[in-house]
Amino acid sequence: MARVGVFVCFCGANIADFVDVPAVVEEAKRIREVKFAIHYKYMCSDPGQQQIRDAIVQHRLTSIVVAACSPRMHEKTFRKALSDAGMNPYLLEVANIREHSSWVHQKDKKAATEKAADLVRMAVAKSIANEQLHEISVPVTKRALVIGGGIAGIQAALDIADARIPVVLVEKSPSIGGKMAQLDETFPTLDCSQCILTPKMVDVASHPYIELIPYSEVIELDGFVGNYKAKIRKKASYVNFKTCTGCGACWQKCPVKVPNEYNMGLDKRKAIYTPFPQAVPNKPVIDATHCTMLLKGKCGICSKVCEKGSIDYTMKDEIIEREIGAVVVATGYDLWDPKPYEEYGVGRFKDIITSLEFERMVSANGPTNGVPVRPSDGKVPKNVVFIKCIGSRDEAKGIEYCSKICCMYTTKHTILLHHKVPGSHSYVFYMDIRAAGKGYEEFVKKAQVDTAATYLRGRVSKIYKKGDKLMVRGEDAQIGQVVEVEADMVVLATAVIPNKDNPDLARLLGVSYDKYGYMSEAHPKLRPVETAKAGIFLAGCTQAPKDIPDTVSQASACAAKVCGLFSGDTMKKDPMISTVNNEYCSGCQNCVKVCPYGAIVTEEVPMGHGSKEMRTVAKINEGVCQGCGSCVAICRSMAITLAGFTDPQIINEIVSI
Amino acid sequence: MEAAVNNQLVSIEKPEIVAPPDWQPVIIGILCNWCSYAGSDLTGTSRIQYPPNIRIIRVPCSSRVDPWFLIKSLQTTADGVLVSGCHPGDCHYISGNYYARRRFLVTKKLLHFTGFHENRIQFSWVSAAEGPKFAKVVAKVTEDIKKLGPLHLYKKENFEK
Amino acid sequence: MDYTNQIREIAARLFSENKIDVFVGYRMTGFDENQVPVLIRDPKEVPRLVFNDKSVFNLTNYLKHEHTRGKRVGLVVKGCDSRSLQLLLTESQVKRDRLYVVGIACEGVVDDAGQKYQNCQECVFPDAVVFDEMLGTPKGNGQYQVNADIRELASKDLVERRAYFEEVFENCIRCNACRHSCPMCYCAKCCIDQESSTLYNGANTTSAAFHALMTWSLHLAGRCVDCRNCEKACPSHLPLHLLHKWNEQVIYENFQEHLAGVHEGDRGAFYKYSLQDPDDFIM
C-alpha cells in the first residue's frame, strides 16, 4: 500500500491569495493513499524542505507530492530534498498549482481551489505508479568539434585547447580567419584587424591540441552528448598539403583569372590560390570549377612549376570520421544582397558599393592598396554618401531586426575615409545611431567632430545619375525637408544575415533555427550559449548578429561550457528513457524506424526459456535514448516503457480527476 | 477518385443531454514538456486568465501520446481533450510531432465517424513563447465543449470511473 | 476460378522435392459447400486441397500458428492475402526464404448465396503482390473507391452514427475472435490482455468494447488489407470493416499513402511522416 505525503505551498501570497490552500490539504487527506498532508509558506525554503525530509522518515512515506510552482522551476530542488532524506528522488511528483491554477484563475477562488485539488489528486495518482529510478552514467569522449574558423571558432578552439582538451576545427574555405580577416580596422579602438587576428590564426595552426581541417564540411553528426560521431568531407584541394611549402610558384604562373572572393570580387585571383597572403594554412588549393586542367584536361602549368610535385589532379573528396563529445557551431554571417533597392540603382550604377567592398578598398592589403576608388572610372571619390539600415529594420524589403554592427562600422568608415582621402567629406543617412557598448558612444561622438561628417536623419528615396556623379535624394527628418547630395560614391551598410548554410547545418546537427536561419539558443536570457540539444553550443553570428567583442565573449563561454561538460570521465544522464520488455516484444521493428536518434537496435534472444531457436527483439541503447516516447506510443504490444511517463502513470492521472 | 468523404461528415451542435445548471466540463490537456507545457507556464507567469476547466498532464513529447489516452479520457473522466505540442519543425525530439500529427488526424476522424463531435478532441501547436495563444486555445476548447454539453459515453451502463 | 488441380500438383511437387514441411491451403468442410483452412504435413493428404471461389479465408493468419513457426511453408495467397504477407515480411514476422508462395490472380470469392463479397467487388489489387508462382492471368490494379457502407454511414448525422456504433459496441461479446483471425494481430501478448496495462478490462460492457475495438482498429490503421477475416469470424456479425475501411480512407485521402502492404518495406502510415501532412485541424 502506497503511503503518499502531500506538501502544499503558499508561495507567499502567490498561491494563497487565489487558492484556498488549507482546503486543498483537507481534500488531499481524503485520498486513501495519502497518509500525511500539510501546507507551508515557502516549501522551497530550507525549513520547507526540512518538513518534507522529516515527514519522509516519520511517516514512512513511499512517494511525495509537492503542490507548488511549475516542475520546470523547482522539481530539481525537491528531488534533492528527497535524496537527502534517503528516498529515491524520482518518487517525487509536482502538482503545478501556481502557473496552472492560482495565477490563471485569479477571479474565481472556488474554481481555482477545485482545480488545485484535482491537480493534487492527479499528482498523487501518478506518484503511486512512480518507480525508483537511477541516474545513468555515460562515458564521455573528451574531444570538441568546432565548426567554422572565423574569430568565434578560433577563440573557442584556442580556449578549449588551452584547457588541454583536443579540438577538431573544421573550416569550409581554404583558410581560417573568416570575415574578420577581411576587415581593415576595428571599432572602437581602430586597431588593425589583421594585427590582432593573425597571431591567433597562427596559434591555431601550431597548437598541439588543435587539429585544423581546412577546406572541409561536416556532413553528418550521429550520437548524443559526450558521444557524437562526426563525418567530415575534406574537399579535394588537388594539392598535397604535406609536401607543399606554400612557395607560391603555382599561383604566380596560373593563367586562369577568377573574381577574388576575399576582395569582394574587386580584383582577380588565380584558379590555384590562397585566399589571402596571411592565410592559415598558407597552402594553395585548386578551384575545380575554374581550373582548365580539371575542366578540360588542358594546362597543367602549376604541376610543371611545382618543384615538390605537390599537385595531384586526381585527388578526390575524402570523408573522415572523428569521435567527439561536444560541438561548437561558429558559422558566422553573410551580408544581405541589396538588389531589392531598385530605386537606388543597385546593380545599374557601378559607384554604389557595399560596406564590405568599401572595407576591402580602404584595407592596406586590399585591391586598391588602401585608397578607395570609384569602380566606374578609378578616380578617388571626394564626397561619399553612407546609407545605413540597408535591409535591416526593413520589413518590406529586407528583414525586421537591427543588424547591430552597421552603425559602428559606418562611423569607422567615415574615419577611414577621412584618413585616407584628404579633403573628402562623408554624408551619413541614418535612422538611429545605436552605439550601445563600451566606448562606442564616445567613438561616434569623436568621429563626428573629427571628420566633420554630415549626419542626415532619414531614408534615401532615390539615387540617380547626373554626369558622372550620383545624386542622392533623401529626407532630412530633422529639418523636415528633402535634401539632395551630390556624391562620387555611395556605400550601403547592408544587413547581417545568417550564413546561408545555417538551416541545412542546423537540421544535420538536430538543433532548431529561427525564421531568419539563425540557430536557436536554449533560453534567450539564461542559456544563450547552449542549444536545446545537449552538447551543442553556439558562438558568434550563428546565433544572432553581434560585434567582435560579443562574439569573442560567447566563444569563450562556449569553451567554458565544453570544459565543464568534459570535467568528469562520465556524464550523468536523466534516467527517463525507454526500455523494452522482451517478453512482449514481437520484433516488428517499427520502433527502430520511428526513433529519431537511432537509439533502437535489434538483438536475438531465445524463443523460450532454454530454447535454441532465436527470435528478434528491440533493444534500446540507454546512452542514446533521449526519452521522447515516440517508440512507446507506436508499440502496439506495449512492450516499451518510458520511465517517468509510463502508461499506468498517465492513465492514473486521467482517471483520477 | 471521389470527393473526400471524410470532409462530408455531418456534425450537429446541440447538447447530447441537458446539462445541470452548475455543470462544468472537465477537459484534459496533454501537453508536451518542451513547448506547450512551457507555454502554459508562461501563461501563468504573465497572469493571463483562462477558464479553469482544463486539467493538465505533462508528457515529454506529443509523440508520447498514444491514441488510446484520448479514448480512455473520453471513456472515463473527460468531456473533451486537448493535446498540444511543438510547432512543426520545432520538436525538441526532432520529428516526434510529425508522427503525432498523423495519429491525431486519424484518431480524430475515427472518433468523429463513430459519433463523437469533432470538437471533443482538439489539437494545437503552442510554443514556449506563446503564453497568450495557450490561453486563447483553452478558452476556445472550453467554450466548444460547453456548447456540446456533458459527454455520457454509452448511457446504458454506468461504467467504472 | 478453380485452381484445385494446379495447387495439388504444386504441393505434391514441393513435398517430393523436399522444399516444404507444411502446406497451408483450403479443404472442403465435409458437410456443406464451404471451405476451411487446412495444414498439410503429409504428402498423402495433398488430394484434400481445393481452391475455387469459395476459398475465402486469408491463410497468412496461419503463419503465426505454432505448426508453421520456424518451418518451411507452402502457402496459397490471393491478392489481399499477399498484401498482408508483404506486411508480415516487412515487419520481420516471417522469413521469405522459408516460404513458397503460390500467388493467385484472384477473381473474387463468393458468399453462400454465390454473391461476390463486397471487398472483392471493390478490390484494388486482385493479383498477388508476393509470389513464387502465379496462377491465373493478372488483371492489373483497380481503381480505389470509397466503400459503399462508409459512404452511406458518412452521410448520416452525428447522432445517428453514434447510435449505430453504440449498437455495434453493445453487441460485441469480447470474444476476441476478430483479433485471433487477423493476420496482422501477431503480438506476443495483446495490449488488451496485459494485466499490467490499464487497457486491460475484461468487463463485457459497451464501453470496454468501444475501447478495445477502437484501439484495435487504430493498431490496424494503415495495415489492414481488407481481407475481412475478422468479420467472417465474428459471432455477433459486427460490421468491423467499417472501422478499418474508414481509417484506410482517411489515410489514403489525407496522406496520399498507398494501401497497406502494396510495397515492400512500406510499414504503413503511422510509421513515417511527410512535412506536407494536413495541419489545418490543429489550432
Radius of gyration (C-alpha) of chain B in whole angstroms: 16
- Contact (Cβ atoms closer than 8 angstroms) between residue A220 and residue A227: no
pLDDT number for residue B156: 45
Alpha carbons A487 and A463: distance in angstroms, whole number = 10
Whether residue A587 and residue C267 make contact (CB cut-off 8 A), yes or no, is: no
Provide, as residue numbers in chain A, all residues whose Cβ is less than 8 Å from the Cβ of C93.
586-588
Which residues from chain A sit within 8 angstroms of residue B25, using beta carbons? none
* pLDDT for the residue numbered A609: 77
- Partner-chain contact C91 A636, CB within 8 Å: no
Q: Hey, what CATH class is A144-235+317-332+499-565 in?
A: alpha beta
Q: Residue A335 in 3-state DSSP?
A: strand
**Residue B72 is nearest to which of A99, A597, A651, comparing CB atoms?**
A651
φ, ψ (nearest 5 deg) of residue A10? -75, -30
CA-CA distance, A638 to C275, in Å (whole number)?
27
CA A562 to CA A536: how far, in whole Å? 9
* Packed helices C241-255 and C206-219: angle between N→C axes, nearest 10 degrees: 40
Q: CB-based contact (8 Å) between C186 and chain A?
A: yes
pLDDT at B150 over 90: no
Q: Check pLDDT > 70 for residue B160.
A: no
Q: What's the mean pLDDT when you consider all of chain B?
A: 84
B72 touches chain A (CB under 8 A): yes
Phi, psi of A425, rounded to the nearest 5 degrees: -140, 135
**pLDDT number for residue A119:** 94
Rounded to a whole number of angstroms, the distance from the CA of A348 to the nearest CA of chain B is: 40
| Angle, in degrees to the nearest 10, between helices A548-565 and A151-162 | 40
Strand partners, A291: none
Q: Which of A636, A645, A653, A656 to mutate to test the interface with C (most CBs of C within 10 A)?
A: A636
- CA–CA min distance B24, chain C (Å): 22
Distance from CA of A640 to the nearest CA of B (A): 11
What is the Cα–Cα distance from A439 to A437, expressed in whole angstroms?
A: 6
Q: Which among A636, B70, A578, A587 has a CA at the least distance from the CA of C190?
A: A636
CATH architecture of A578-655: 2-Layer Sandwich (3.30)
Cβ within 8 Å, pair A637-C272: no
* CATH 3.50.50.60 residue ranges for chain A: 144-235+317-332+499-565, 334-497
Q: Which of A586, A613, A647 sits opposite C187 (nearest CB)?
A: A586
Tell me the CA distances in angstroms from A202 to A198, A241, A366, A471, B100, one per residue in order.
Answer: 6, 16, 21, 46, 51
Please indicate if any CB of chain C lies within 8 Å of the CB of A611. Answer: no
Name the residue among A144, A169, A147 with its Cα closest to residue A280: A169
Give which of B46, B39, B45, B42 is closest to B90, Cα–Cα. B39
Spans in chain C with pLDDT lower than 70: 195-203
Can you give the pLDDT at residue C201? 61
| Nearest alpha-carbon partner for B49 in B135, B140, B131 | B135
The pLDDT, as a whole number, for residue A573 is: 81
Q: Which residues of C touch A590 (CB under 8 A)?
A: 91, 267, 271
Distance from CA of C245 to the nearest CA of B (A): 10
Tell me if C215 and B8 make a contact (CB, 8 A cut-off).
no
Domain containing B65 equals 24-148
Q: Which of B26, B38, B36 is closest to B64 using CA atoms?
A: B36
Quick one: average pLDDT of A3-20? Answer: 92
For residue B2, tell me if it sits in a domain: no
**Which chain B residue has its CA at the smallest distance from A510's CA?**
B94
Residue A410 distance to chain C (closest CA, Å): 43
Contact assignment for A584 to C198 by CB distance below 8 Å: no
- B21 min Cα distance to partner chain C (Å): 23
CB of B151 within 8 A of CB of B76?
no
A614-628 pLDDT, tens per residue?
Answer: 888 999 988 788 889
With H, G, I as helix, E, B as strand and everything else as coil, classify residue C207: helix
**Segment A37-63, tens digit of pLDDT:** 999 999 999 999 999 999 999 999 999
Cβ contacts of C214 on chain A, cutoff 8 Å: none
Count of structural domains, chain B: 1
Print burial letters for A297-314: b (CB count within 10 Å at least 16), e (below 16).
eebebbbeebeeebbebe
For chain A, residues classed under CATH 3.30.70.3270 are 578-655
Name the band, by pLDDT with cuts 50, 70 and 90, for residue A137: confident
- How far is CA A152 from its chain centroid? 11
State chain A's maximal CA–CA distance in angstroms: 97
Q: How many CB pairs under 8 A join B and C?
A: 151
Chain B residues with beta carbon closer than 8 angstroms to that of C207: 75, 153-154, 157, 159
Q: Write out chain C residues lying below 8 Å of A645, CB-based.
A: none
- Asked if B3 reaches chain C (Cβ–Cβ under 8 Å), the answer is no
Q: Report the pLDDT averaged over residues B111-125.
A: 91
- Which CATH class name applies to A334-497? alpha beta
d(CA A229, CA A93): 36
**Residue from B61, B76, B81 whose CB has the most chain A CBs within 10 Å, to mutate:** B61
pLDDT of res. A23: 93
Residue B126 in contact with partner chain A when CB distance is under 8 A: no
Per-residue pLDDT tens digits for A484-496: 999 999 999 999 9
Do A112 and B40 count as a contact with CB atoms less than 8 A apart? no
Complex-level ipTM: 0.90
Q: What is the mean pLDDT of chain A?
A: 92
CB of A477 within 8 Å of a chain C CB? The answer is no
* Residues of chain C found within 8 Å of residue A581, distances taken between Cβ atoms: none
CA distance A512 to chain B (A): 6
Chosen from A101, A104, A530 to mutate, greatest number of chain B CBs within 10 A: A104
Looking at residue C145, what is its pLDDT? 86
Kindly state whether residue B17 falls inside one of the protein's structural domains. no
- Going from N- to C-terminal start, the domains of chain C cover 4-135, 148-271
Task: Please name the member of A594, A616, A636 whose beta carbon is closest to the beta carbon of C191.
Answer: A636
Q: Do the Cβ atoms of A606 and A614 come closer than 8 Å?
A: yes
Residues of B in contact with C271 (CB under 8 A): 99
- Window 211-250 of C: residues touching B by CB (8 A cutoff) are 211, 214-215, 217-218, 221, 243, 246-247, 249-250
Q: Indicate yes or no: CB of B110 within 8 angstroms of CB of C246.
A: yes
Q: Mind listing the pLDDT tens digit for each residue in A561-598?
A: 999 999 988 888 889 999 999 988 988 999 999 988 88
Location of C-alpha cell 551580408 = A335
Q: Say yes or no for a CB contact (<8 Å) between B102 and C165.
A: no
Is B57 within 8 Å of A479 (Cβ atoms)? Answer: no
What backbone torsions phi and psi does residue A301 show, to the nearest 5 degrees? -65, -45
In a domain, B29, yes or no: yes
Percent of chain A with pLDDT strictly greater than 90: 74
B49 contacts chain C (CB < 8 A) = no
Average of per-residue pLDDT across A119-137: 92
For A385, the grid coordinates are 554618401
Closest CB from B114, B140, B159 relative to C165: B114
**Cα–Cα distance measured from residue A250 to residue A244, given in angstroms and rounded to the nearest whole number:** 11
Q: What is the CATH number of the domain that holds B78?
A: 3.40.50
Which chains contact B through at least 3 pairs of Cβ atoms less than 8 Å apart?
A: A, C
Q: What is the CATH code of the structural domain delimited by A4-128?
A: 3.40.50
Report the C-alpha gap between A86 and A107 in whole angstroms: 41
* Cα-based distances in Å from C256 to A231, B4, C147, C148: 35, 12, 17, 20
Domain for residue B153, yes or no? no
Q: A295-323: per-residue pLDDT in tens?
A: 998 898 999 999 888 999 999 999 999 99
Q: Name the phi and psi angles at C270, rounded to 5.
A: -80, -5
Chains that touch C (3 or more CB pairs under 8 A): A, B
